[in-house]
């Protein structure tokens, strides 16, 4: 499956402060193409900040970021997106008065499904088909023609995911996609993530431990702006350190 040994994402010595607060002290990671990695940690650990730095929302104070071998540390978010990086919250521009499928159709306009083909008619047909496919994939088949305003919070998040997928990302970054979802919605989200195209690299911040551990083959634990542990889902389950972090909020590293 692996076409290249170049990592999908490489971050080196990344730090980010907000005033005197060191939100990320020094982050280092290399994520292989097609790898599924979860980032867990209590509130304020620096997980979203790390995503923001990777997506280009704010620059890091040190270090570099490489996307598929190319340095992107100082590129604007839009250029990173064009290189295959998609992040749910950033591109979730839902059109609240349009239907589910219309939203996805619009997202597809930014991709190869755009009308620049000689066979415009055929392309247009394909775009609706593809939109329908994506809506089904995120578990919203029964809401195909529902206006976004009438969706539940959880359903809107599923739609955001369909729109991220429409961009055909090579690196998909999801920040707590299960937040606010019902049990049934969580299950369909998990299924969708497990069935994701194996070539897509997934970086997932998830508070729901069951999803975080089920979807990923590797888990990074952050605490107080630092990576404090990394391992397979079973190593995470067995880790006393991880248990202490979640129970106490402070670490006793003896």
Ligand X SMILES: Nc1ncnc2c1ncn2[C@@H]1O[C@H](COP(=O)(O)OP(=O)(O)O)[C@@H](O)[C@H]1O
C-alpha–C-alpha distance, residues 144 and 136, integer Å? 8
Q: Does 48 bind ligand X (CB under 6 A)?
A: yes
Q: Among all chains, which residue has been given the structure tokens 């730095």? A: 53
Q: Which of 26, 48, 92, 146 binds Mg ion (CB under 5 A)?
A: 48
Q: For the beta carbon of residue 141, count every other beta carbon within 10 angstroms.
A: 11
2 or 21: CB nearest ligand X = 21
User: Closest approach of Cβ 27 to ligand X, in Å?
Assistant: 11
Please choose, out of 42-50, 129-137, 151-159, 179-187, the segment that lies near ligand X by the rule CB under 6 A: 42-50
Taking each helix axis from N to C terminus, what angle separates 153-166 and 183-194, rounded to the nearest 10 degrees? Answer: 10
The interface partner of residue 18, options being ligand X, Mg ion, none and the CB cut-off 5 to 8 Å by kind, is ligand X
Please choose, out of 9-17, 47-55, 104-112, 224-232, the segment that lies near Mg ion by the rule CB under 5 A: 47-55
The interface partner of residue 169, options being ligand X, Mg ion, none and the CB cut-off 5 to 8 Å by kind, is none
C-alpha–C-alpha distance, residues 60 and 39, integer Å? 19
The interface partner of residue 49, options being Mg ion, ligand X, none and the CB cut-off 5 to 8 Å by kind, is ligand X
Beta strands in the chain (DSSP E): 9-18, 21-31, 36-40, 62-67, 70-71, 85-87, 171-175, 201-205, 218-223, 226-231
C-alpha–C-alpha distance, residues 90 and 13, integer Å? 24
Q: Does 56 bind ligand X (CB under 6 A)?
A: no
C-alpha–C-alpha distance, residues 25 and 46, integer Å? 9
Q: Does 42 bind Mg ion (CB under 5 A)?
A: no
List of residues contacting Mg ion (CB under 5 A): 47-48
List of residues contacting ligand X (CB under 6 A): 18, 21, 23, 41, 43-49
């Amino acid at each position: 499956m692996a076409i290249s040994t170049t990592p999908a994402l490489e971050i080196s010595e990344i730090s980010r402060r907000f005033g005197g607060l060191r939100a990320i002290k020094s982050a280092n990671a290399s994520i292989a193409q097609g790898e599924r990695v979860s980032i867990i940690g209590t509130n304020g650990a620096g997980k979203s900040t790390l995503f923001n730095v990777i997506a280009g929302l704010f620059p890091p104070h040190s270090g570099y970021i490489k996307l598929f071998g190319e340095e992107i540390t100082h590129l604007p978010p839009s250029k990173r997106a064009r290189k295959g990086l998609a992040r749910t919250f950033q591109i979730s521009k839902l059109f609240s008065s349009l239907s589910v499928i219309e939203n996805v159709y619009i997202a597809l306009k930014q991709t190869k499904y755009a009308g620049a083909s000689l066979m415009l008619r055929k392309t247009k047909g394909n775009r609706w088909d593809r939109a329908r496919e994506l809506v089904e994939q995120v578990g919203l088949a029964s809401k195909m023609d529902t206006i976004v305003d009438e969706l539940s919070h959880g359903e809107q998040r599923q739609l955001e995911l369909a729109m991220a997928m429409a961009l055909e990302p090579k690196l998909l970054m999801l920040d707590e996609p299960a937040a606010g979802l019902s049990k049934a919605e969580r299950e369909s989200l998990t299924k969708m993530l497990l069935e994701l195209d194996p070539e897509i690299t997934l970086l997932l911040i998830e508070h729901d431990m069951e999803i975080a551990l089920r979807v990923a083959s590797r888990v990074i634990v952050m605490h107080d702006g630092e990576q404090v542990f990394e391992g397979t889902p079973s190593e995470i389950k067995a880790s006393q350190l991880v248990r202490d972090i979640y129970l106490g909020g402070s670490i006793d590293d003896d």
